[in-house]
Amino acid sequence: MGPSCSSGGVGSAPSSDQRITVRSAATEEVIGSVPEATEADVDRAVAAARRAFDDPHGWSTWEPEDRAKALRRLADELDQRAEATVHAVSSQNGMPITIARAFETSYPSATLRYFADLVSAQPVEETRPGFFVASTTVRRTPIGVVAGIVPWNVPQSLTMSKLAAGNTIVLKPSPETVLDAFILADAVEAAGIPEGVVSILPGGRELGAYLVSHPGVNKVAFTGSTAGGRAVATACAQLLRPVSLELGGKSAAIILDDADLDLQRIGQNLFNATLAHTGQVCFLGTRILAPRSRYGEVIDVLEALIESTPLGDPLDDTTLLGPLASRAQQQRVADYIDVGIAEGARVVTGGPGRPEGRERGHFVRPTLFADVENSARVAQEEIFGPVLTVIGYHDDAEAAQIASDSQYGLGGTVWSSNPERAMGVARAVETGTIGINGYIPDLGAPFGGVKGSGYGKEWGPEGLAAYQQLKSIYHFE
């Protein structure tokens, strides 16, 4: 069975008798259960976060260097629990374990160390010469109690960026990924982060909605679907509560006609940018834009990529494509494969049904659709699974226009052997982030979407600023 349950930072276990049962994505067997938090637990956690924030000697008043030391200790504690974490994540949501090692252990601890360095190097106050006054002191302070709502796909990585600026935080992970959230709670305690600074409340969307509107919360950081983000933004608008929204995507991978298509050289990068975590990452470029002059070649390369990528048990080190996170997600992706066929897309590889030999678990067949119009549902809607659609284009300008013709704008890639030409196309696409010949969101730069992909930034100095507030103090002499 799964790890024992405690509630991080609050100091006592959730009060409910209800439990959330967690099943393995690969075998559908029960692998653990945790107590489900109630609204009373949210009240207690927010009160604890409030006390910890308002404490005159508490976390928010610590010197940045002391907070940075605590974040580095937390990074070390997480590193010590790395294998337990990746095992929990892979078992729960089916993320192949080698990918979980990058996303769920290297990223969170690197994020903590990055923000520790940033916070300790940043002056709390800076004084600028004035225009109408003698000078102005600009003071940066944490915002207060942050409610962090995170999805099931990369729970730890998304959690870390919200811990760093001196706020106290109440986190609600997805019910599908609660086991690793308890490992995080354990690491928070071991790192000596004061009680109430981090609380973790396993529960569903109703609990999330209650937390978002809680009177004791000062900011909401929501990562999840665009539909969920809309509901959260509506609640926050009524309360005039700041919110950052990291939402869905349907990004384009633009292959220019001078791109290197040798899978030996580009296969790893192409996989990471289009199919990582079995297609369940918000920034993946799942709309592949292929030049008409090399359309057939692009199809052949993608077909070879999909067919040569090992699919199987997520706990096996050689697996790169696993099951989907839940039965609902499996059904959703299977439905989209039917939609694509009904819309007239050509199935190059994959299609309906399960992969051979995978009778249990939330597996689907990784699917490549060719001859897709950008207006098709499978090109416009976020599928969140291993389904790629290939759309033809004539020139760079048309490629950028098709890439931007989406309700979303989160990630994307440009593939070319000419860096300047690639930059030109990258500049033209309406999106929050884009990679050239590969894609990994980098810690040092702002990450976030435009349009239906949300607003607000994580990572980089801009990501820290999103969790700080500014006060201007005017001096007259």
Which member of 36, 282, 382, 458 is catalytic? 282
Q: Where are the alpha helices (DSSP H) in 222-364?
A: 226-239, 263-274, 295-308, 327-342
Of 453 and 468, nearer to ligand NAD (C-beta) is 453
Applying CB under 6 A, among 192, 204, 344, 444 the residue interacting with ligand NAD is 204
- Residues 392-411, one symbol each (x = binds ligand NAD by CB under 6 A, - = not), give ------------------x-
The distance of closest approach from Cβ of residue 350 to ligand NAD in the complex, given in angstroms and rounded to an integer, is: 21
Give, as ranges, the residues between 239 and 268 that touch ligand NAD (CB under 6 A).
Answer: 246-249
CA distance 215 to 239: 9
The distance of closest approach from Cβ of residue 254 to ligand NAD in the complex, given in angstroms and rounded to an integer, is: 20
The distance of closest approach from Cβ of residue 36 to ligand NAD in the complex, given in angstroms and rounded to an integer, is: 12
How remote is the C-alpha of 110 from its chain's centroid?
A: 15
| 246 belongs to the catalytic site | yes
| 236 belongs to the catalytic site | no
Of 223 and 367, nearer to ligand NAD (C-beta) is 223
Residue 212 is a binding residue for ligand NAD (CB under 6 A) = yes
* Helix axis angle, 64-80 to 179-190, nearest 10°: 130
Applying CB under 6 A, among 60, 161, 223, 406 the residue interacting with ligand NAD is 223
Whole-angstrom CA distances from 215 to 232, 244, 323, 417 are 14, 18, 39, 53
Among the listed residues 285, 289, 303, 306, the one whose alpha carbon sits nearest the alpha carbon of residue 382: 285
Q: Which two tokens stand for residue 64?
A: 């940045």
Of 13 and 231, nearer to ligand NAD (C-beta) is 231
Give, for 47, the enclosing helix (H) or strand (E).
helix 39-54
What SS3 class is residue 433?
coil
Of 208 and 460, nearer to ligand NAD (C-beta) is 208
- Residues 371-390, one symbol each (x = binds ligand NAD by CB under 6 A, - = not), give -----------x-x------
> Taking a C-beta distance cutoff of 8 angstroms, is the pair 267, 305 a contact?
yes
Residue 254 one-letter amino acid: I
> Taking a C-beta distance cutoff of 8 angstroms, is the pair 159, 173 a contact?
yes
Give, as ranges, the residues between 150 and 179 that touch ligand NAD (CB under 6 A).
Answer: 150-154, 158, 172, 174
Which member of 36, 195, 246, 458 is catalytic? 246
Residue 449 is a binding residue for ligand NAD (CB under 6 A) = yes
Applying CB under 6 A, among 84, 110, 138, 231 the residue interacting with ligand NAD is 231
Among the listed residues 432, 460, 464, the one whose alpha carbon sits nearest the alpha carbon of residue 248: 432
Of 143 and 158, nearer to ligand NAD (C-beta) is 158
Burial of 40 (0-12, 13-18, 19+ CB in 10 A): exposed
Active site residues: 246, 282
List residues binding ligand NAD (CB under 6 A): 149-154, 158, 172, 174, 204-205, 208-209, 212, 223-225, 228, 231-232, 246-249, 282, 382, 384, 410, 449, 453
